[in-house]
Copies of this chain bind each other. A is one copy, B any other.
Amino acid sequence: MENTAQPTPTMPPIVLSPEQLRAHWQAHRGLTRRLIEIYPDEHFFSYTLGGMRPCSALIEEVLNMADLSMPGVRSGEWPAFTADSEGERATTKEQVLARWDQVTEKINAYWPQIPPARFQEVDKAFGLYEGPIYWFLLYLIDNEIHHRGQAYVYLRTLGVEPPAFWDRPQA
C-alpha cells in the first residue's frame, strides 16, 4: 500500500523550519553569551594572539552584523554597513552583554515577521553580499561560530576553561 503521507515530488522537502533555524541561532548566541560572561574582564578588550583582534572586536562584529541585518532579512531594508554604523563602542563587558540581550530580543521580534518564502529569495545584503536569505543567515551563524572558536583559543591560552561547545542554552 502506498504511503500517501510521503512528500510528493512537487512539495520540496523540509530540512528545518524557520522556527528551528531561529532556535538554532539563539542557542549558539546563548553559548557565545556564556563565553563573554566568563571571559576575564582585564583581557576582553586587549588580549590578542597572532596579531588578531581582541575578543571584544570579534564579538562587536558578530553583534553588529546580527543587529543591522534584521530589517534587511525581513524585508530588504539594508543600512549601509560602515564603521560608522556601529554607533558607540562598548567599553565594559556589562555594556556588551546588555547589547547582546537587546539583539536577542530584536531577532525574536523580527523573526516571525519574515515571510516564509523570504528564506529562498535572493537579495544583496548591505548592498554587498548577494545570495538567498537562508545563505546569508547561515553566514551570520557560521561567522559567530568561527570567531567564538578563536576566542576559545584565547581563553585556553589565558588558562580559562571555555564553556562546553555542545551545551547550548535556549533563548
Seen from chain A, the residues whose Cβ lies within 8 Å of a Cβ on chain B are 6-7, 11-18, 20-21, 24, 28, 49-52, 116-117, 119-120, 132, 134-135, 138-139, 142-143, 145-150, 152-159, 165-166
Contacts and interface: CB of A to CB of B under 8 A. Distances in A.
| Secondary structure call for the A interface | helix
Most chain B C-beta atoms within 10 Å of own C-beta, residue among A13, A116, A148: A13
Nearest to A155: B50
A52 B156 contact: yes
Nearest to A16: B134
Contacts of A150: 149-150, 152-153
A111 to B, nearest CB: 12
A11 B17 CA distance: 11
